[in-house]
């Protein structure tokens, strides 16, 4: 350490404790990432920060945050951030800290004391807006102050990272622990597309390999203390639904459908599959429900894809399972919703007063009104749980 008095060093350390690692979301001082602090006679501070891996995509963020915080300390005239890289030994001790004694291959969300609500978003077929609904509900909840993560498990079109503006980001790995990718909206994401050796590689995800990938995204990713985890499932009733049912039966299922008869029918099958895997279907979201008439205004709804699909799926599933399955909302066709997805800035954030955003925010509000930690009560609510 340099020639300044120790109180100044204390204050610099306190400032550094306000800098979170952007991926791990904990203070860099707790993670042993600050290797050295040096202060010269003129008040210039040099901080050496150890990155978890060389070429860490977050290095600019860390440099900026360290500079900003240390600059606020009285007497500091300048800040230089020197970036180093952890040794293998330092990384494995960090991994141990992060695991906090938790066994490998254990899914934290499946533990009886987990407080994280897990919502699996299912649909009968692709293109109905499942991913759009997932990212917008997630961001709406993050805006309410909840800690939210998304697992993009759609093997056919892993589009969630692009919708969140992080299409080309690869996750950082600390030994065999994977950091979820932080996004501008505060939601963290891991996509099955990120687990491929190369992004352009075509992988036929099936059976055991798919099961391993799903378990990896749930247990080998450092999710921290999440309030809500969303899973964007592939459309249909395939292998992922079975794996999820086996590893995370406490996940609650939301079914997305369009108003069309045919779409409603396949959506019912997806819902039935979830129930067979002992997951509770808590609601149906109808998307692309209507187009607000450009002439008369929103009172006149143009039913481009027919009508009634959402209500039909909800009542059919409710009757089949013997409990109430609600239609949680009807999202209109909205150009800005598509644009938000294409540009990586989902509508609830980029255009929160747009009609589609308002409905999505209302649905999110209703879901989080059910409260954190309800997962543990699910057994009591289930009609089949008690004899
Ligand atoms: N309510 C809506 N209004 C306008 N476009 C929408 C709406 N919902 C989804 N889209 C667009 O439709 C396409 C398919 O949506 P996506 O969320 O990718 O569906 P899925 O995940 O079910 O395949 C995307 O281009 C998306 O932006
Ligand atoms: Mg999708
Ligand atoms: Zn009209």
| Nearest residue to 133 via CA among 285, 282, 27 | 285
Q: Quick check: 279 and 247 in contact, CB under 8 A? A: no
Tokens of 162: 């692009």
Cα distance between residue 149 and residue 76, in whole Å: 38
pLDDT > 50? residue 139: yes
Q: What's the CA gap between 277 and 346, in Å, rounded?
A: 31
CA distances (Å), origin 332, targets 20, 52, 289: 39, 44, 5
Distance in Å, CA 286 to ligand 3 centroid: 22
Residues with CB under 5 A from ligand 2 (ion): 131, 154, 157, 159
- Cβ of 160 closer than 6 Å to ligand 1, yes or no, is no
Rounded CA-CA distance 91/89 in Å is 5
Q: Which atom of ligand 1 is nearest to the CA of 340?
A: 27
From 118, 122, 120, 119, select the one nearest 269 (Cα to Cα). 122
Strand 252-257 versus strand 148-152 pairing type: unpaired
23 C-beta closer than 6 A to ligand 1: no
Whether residue 159 has its Cβ less than 6 Å from ligand 1: yes
Is-above-0.85 flag for pTM? yes
The reported pLDDT for the residue numbered 323 is 94
C-beta of 123 in contact with ligand 1 (< 6 A): yes
Atom 23 of ligand 1: nearest residue by CA position: 127
**Is 42 exposed, middle or buried, given 0-12, 13-18 or 19+ CB atoms closer than 10 A?**
exposed
- Name every residue whose Cβ is closer than 8 Å to that of residue 354 and which is 6 or more positions away in sequence: 334, 336, 337, 347
CA of 122, nearest ligand number: 1
Closest C-alpha residue for ligand 1 atom 17: 129
Indicate the DSSP class of residue 286: E
Which residue in the block uniquely carries the two structure tokens 């352009």?
A: 200
Cβ proximity of 244 and 278 under 8 Å? no
- pLDDT band of 319, cuts 50, 70, 90: very high
Reported as a single tens digit per residue, the pLDDT across 282-309 is: 999 999 999 999 899 888 999 999 999 9
Beta carbon of 334 within 6 Å of any ligand 1 atom = yes
Q: List pLDDT tens digits, range 89-106.
A: 998 899 888 887 676 678
Asked whether residue 229 carries a pLDDT value surpassing 90, the answer given is yes
- For the CA of 332, the nearest atom of ligand 1: 1
In this structure, which residue's CA is closest to atom 15 in ligand 1?
Answer: 129
């Amino acid at each position: 350490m340099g020639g300044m008095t120790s109180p100044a060093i204390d204050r610099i350390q306190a400032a550094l404790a306000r800098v979170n690692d952007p991926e791990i979301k904990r203070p860099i001082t707790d993670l042993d990432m600050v290797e050295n602090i040096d202060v010269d006679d003129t008040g210039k501070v040099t901080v050496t920060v150890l990155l978890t891996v060389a070429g860490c995509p977050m290095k600019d963020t860390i440099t900026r945050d360290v500079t900003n915080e240390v600059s606020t300390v009285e007497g500091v005239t300048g800040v230089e951030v020197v970036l180093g890289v952890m040794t293998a030994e330092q990384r494995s001790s960090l991994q141990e800290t992060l695991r906090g004694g938790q066994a490998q291959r254990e899914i934290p969300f499946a533990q009886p004391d987990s407080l994280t609500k897990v919502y699996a978003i299912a649909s009968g077929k692709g293109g109905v807006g499942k991913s759009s609904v997932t990212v917008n509900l997630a961001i709406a909840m993050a805006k309410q102050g909840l800690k939210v993560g998304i697992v993009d498990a759609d093997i056919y079109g892993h589009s969630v990272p692009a919708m969140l503006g992080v299409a080309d980001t690869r996750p950082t790995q600390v030994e065999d622990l994977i950091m979820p990718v932080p996004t501008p909206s505060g939601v963290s994401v891991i996509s099955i597309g990120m687990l491929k050796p190369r992004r352009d590689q075509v992988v036929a995800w099936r059976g055991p390999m798919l099961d391993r990938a799903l378990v990896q995204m749930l247990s080998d990713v450092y999710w921290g203390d999440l309030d809500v985890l969303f899973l964007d499932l592939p459309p249909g009733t395939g292998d992922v639904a079975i794996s999820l049912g086996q590893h995370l039966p406490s996940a609650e299922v939301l079914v997305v459908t369009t108003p069309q008869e045919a779409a409603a029918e396949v959506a019912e099958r997806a819902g039935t599959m979830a129930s067979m895997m002992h997951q509770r279907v808590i609601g149906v979201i109808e998307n692309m429900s209507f187009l607000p008439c450009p002439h008369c205004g929103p009172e006149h709804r143009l039913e481009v894809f027919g009508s009634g699909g959402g209500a039909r799926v909800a009542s059919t599933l409710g009757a089949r399972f013997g409990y109430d399955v609600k239609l949680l909302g009807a999202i209109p066709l909205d150009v800005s919703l598509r644009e938000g997805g294409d540009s990586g800035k989902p509508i609830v954030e980029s255009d929160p007063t747009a009609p589609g955003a308002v409905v999505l925010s209302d649905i999110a509000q209703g879901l989080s009104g059910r409260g954190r930690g309800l997962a543990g009560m699910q057994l009591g609510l289930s009609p089949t749980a008690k004899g």
